[in-house]
């Protein structure tokens, strides 16, 4: 269910528990991890709420410390590639941002990044640099193709923006055997029509066995939210989607749908399949508010931006449960001007207890950089209960596996207990609330135990509901697993 109308602080209106419906079709979750990023799994809540958690700012990892980066580093794409993390990012060579190149960096830990001398592209007469692309096309977004049977010289692919006709731009495609040496797929674009002047993303979606592209677009229907106008080609900057089976021929671009949520300007999209729960698409668009200008002397124009949070289960319908910012500009005044803050594309698990994400900040300033952000695994949203306690009941589920495991955090006095119910909402013997061993502490994948056992395999393939009774606790995710 999407949030509409007024902006609300991070809470969900409490809904009283009522009788449950016995005719609901169960959601088959198998052993897949489930996150509470929306209300999809939730039947009823009582004195609990969904809370959006903001990541923690860490160190700057990419700075403009090379001559070809002097005026900007941005639009980074990063992912794990075998034994290392790899990243490709835009670097700007002049103060008018008219010539952009693509540079490469790599890291063993996602924190310390090196810019190797690749000897591929000449800049000011020297190939001693980390550049991988200098064509007229720019804003490269790289991915490694996981499709079976791909020729070795096409294992890495990229999309980028280039001129198509007079005053028109389009999306072009690149191919590479190693992510460093690139060639155009063909002279003609793979996608055209409308605006693309941003960071357009593509990847192989193994869940649906298709390539997916998310690009810049315009949306005209709907009511703008606070601080937003329809001054961009009669609408707002928006996100469009297209799919392909072969990376050559693409479906028509169509706008993503956010239901009845207020329209906002989405300057980028940073959409990923979340590796720990591949059934989810997560998006972190740079939300541009064009009607504000905190620094009246700023010469580049009006506007401020933050980073929003969207989620989707099908890649086209995106949930706006949270209209609040995922990342605020913060106390750094260099982030309080137009286009100053972009989420880069990629979520890395940089330790067993830490996810790393990256954001460009301070654009157009000498201090421009790409900074690392951290979050606990699955820690985007939690079901949160107060000290006085609360509970949540899921929709009917069908699972596989032998054990229920939770990603949770409680206070020293907090707790979680779980009851497994039948389709009619009645406790299943030996899995009732009073049978559950009290859970407390902070674990990413902690088991649930009942007095007699923790084995739930006798309930596998049945339609059940989970009832979580909590006090001073956060529940981020759950999964059924085999021991």
- What DSSP line would sit under 248-277, residue for residue? SS-PPPEE-B-TTSPB-EES----EE-TTS
Q: Residue 140: which of 148, 128, 127, 131 has the closest Cα?
A: 131
**Other CB atoms within 10 A of residue 483 CB:** 9
pLDDT in tens, 159-208: 999 988 877 899 999 999 999 999 999 999 999 988 898 999 999 999 99
The whole-angstrom separation of Cα 380 and Cα 326 is 9
pLDDT at 17: 38
- DSSP secondary structure code for residue 123 in this structure: B
Tokens 């229907």 -> residue:
221
The predicted structure's pLDDT at residue 394: 98
88 with 140: CB under 8 angstroms? Answer: yes
Output the pLDDT for position 194: 82
- pTM of the entire structure? 0.92
Q: The CATH number of 56-375 is which of 3.40.50.1000, 3.40.718.10, 2.115.10.20, 2.130.10.10? A: 2.115.10.20
Of the two residues 303 and 94, the one the predictor is more confident about is 303
- Break the chain into its structural domains and give their ranges: 27-53+381-481, 56-375
Query: Quick one: 240 exposed, middle or buried, by C-beta within 10 A (0-12, 13-18, 19+)?
Result: buried
Quickly tell me which residue has 């690149």 as its tokens: 174
- Asked if the model's pLDDT at residue 2 lies above 50, the reply is no
pLDDT of 395 > 80? The answer is yes
- Give the percent of the chain with pLDDT over 70: 94
**Mapping DSSP to helix (H, G, I), strand (E, B) and coil, where does residue 256 land?**
coil
What is the phi-psi region of residue 37: left when phi exceeds 0, alpha when psi lies from -120 to 50, beta otherwise? alpha
Structure-model confidence comparison of residues 227 and 250, the more confident one: 250
Element (DSSP H or E) covering residue 91:
strand 84-92
CA gap 17, 439 in Å, rounded:
23
pLDDT for residue 464 is more than 70: yes
Residue 10 is predicted with a pLDDT of 36
Mean pLDDT of the chain: 92
- The token pair at 477 is 């995710």
pLDDT of residue 20: 41
Q: What is the phi/psi pair of residue 435, to 5°?
A: -85, -15
Which residue has 């005209």 as its token pair? Answer: 220
The CATH number of 27-53+381-481 is which of 3.40.50.1370, 3.40.50.720, 2.60.120.260, 3.40.50.800? 2.60.120.260
pLDDT tens digit sequence for 309-360: 999 999 999 999 999 999 999 999 999 999 899 999 999 999 999 999 999 9
The label of the residue with tokens 């009732």 reads 432
| DSSP letter string, 163-193 | E-STT-EEEEEEEESSSSS-EES-SS-SEES
């Amino acid at each position: 269910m999407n949030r509409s109308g007024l902006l609300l602080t991070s809470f969900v209106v409490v809904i009283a528990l009522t009788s449950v419906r016995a005719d609901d079709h169960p959601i088959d979750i198998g052993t897949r991890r489930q996150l509470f990023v929306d209300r999809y799994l939730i039947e009823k809540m009582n004195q609990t709420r969904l809370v959006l958690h903001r990541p923690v700012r860490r160190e700057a990892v990419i700075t403009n410390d090379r001559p070809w980066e002097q005026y900007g580093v941005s639009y980074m794409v990063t992912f794990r590639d075998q034994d290392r993390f790899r990243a490709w990012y835009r670097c700007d060579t002049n103060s008018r941002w008219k010539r952009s190149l693509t540079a490469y960096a790599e890291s063993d830990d996602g924190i310390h990044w090196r810019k190797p001398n690749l000897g591929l592209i000449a800049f000011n007469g020297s190939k001693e640099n980390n550049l991988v692309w200098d064509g007229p096309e720019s804003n490269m977004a790289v991915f490694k193709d996981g499709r079976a049977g791909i020729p070795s010289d096409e294992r890495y692919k990229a999309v980028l923006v280039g001129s198509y006709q007079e005053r028109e731009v389009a999306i072009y495609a690149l191919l590479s055997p190693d992510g460093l040496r690139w060639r155009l797929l063909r002279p003609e674009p793979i996608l055209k029509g409308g605006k693309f002047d941003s960071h357009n993303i593509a990847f192989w979606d193994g869940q649906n066995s298709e390539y997916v592209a998310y690009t810049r677009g315009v949306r005209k229907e709907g009511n703008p939210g606070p601080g937003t106008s329809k001054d961009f080609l009669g609408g707002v900057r928006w996100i469009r989607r297209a799919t392909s089976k072969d990376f050559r021929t693409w479906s028509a671009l169509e706008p993503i749908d956010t239901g009845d949520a207020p329209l906002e300007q989405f300057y980028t999209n940073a959409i990923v399949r979340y590796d720990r729960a591949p059934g989810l698409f997560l998006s972190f668009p740079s939300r541009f508010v064009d009607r504000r200008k905190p620094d009246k002397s700023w010469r580049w124009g009006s506007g401020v931006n933050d980073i929003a949070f969207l989620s989707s289960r099908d890649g086209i319908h995106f949930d706006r449960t949270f209209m609040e910012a995922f990342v605020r500009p913060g106390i750094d005044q260099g982030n309080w001007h137009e286009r100053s803050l972009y989420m880069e594309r990629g979520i890395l698990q940089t330790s067993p207890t830490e996810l790393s994400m990256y954001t460009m900040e301070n654009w157009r300033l000498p201090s421009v950089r790409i900074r690392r952000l951290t979050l606990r695994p699955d820690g985007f949203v939690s079901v949160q209960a107060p000290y006085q306690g609360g509970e949540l009941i899921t929709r009917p589920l069908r699972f596989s596996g032998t054990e229920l495991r939770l990603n949770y955090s409680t206070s020293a006095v907090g707790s979680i207990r779980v009851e497994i119910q039948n389709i009619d909402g009645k406790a299943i013997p030996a899995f009732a609330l009073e049978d559950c061993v009290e859970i407390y502490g902070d674990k990413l994948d902690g088991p649930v135990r009942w007095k007699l056992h923790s084995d739930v395999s006798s309930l596998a393939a049945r339609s059940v509901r989970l009832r979580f009774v909590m006090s001073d606790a956060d529940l981020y995710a759950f999964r059924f697993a085999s021991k």
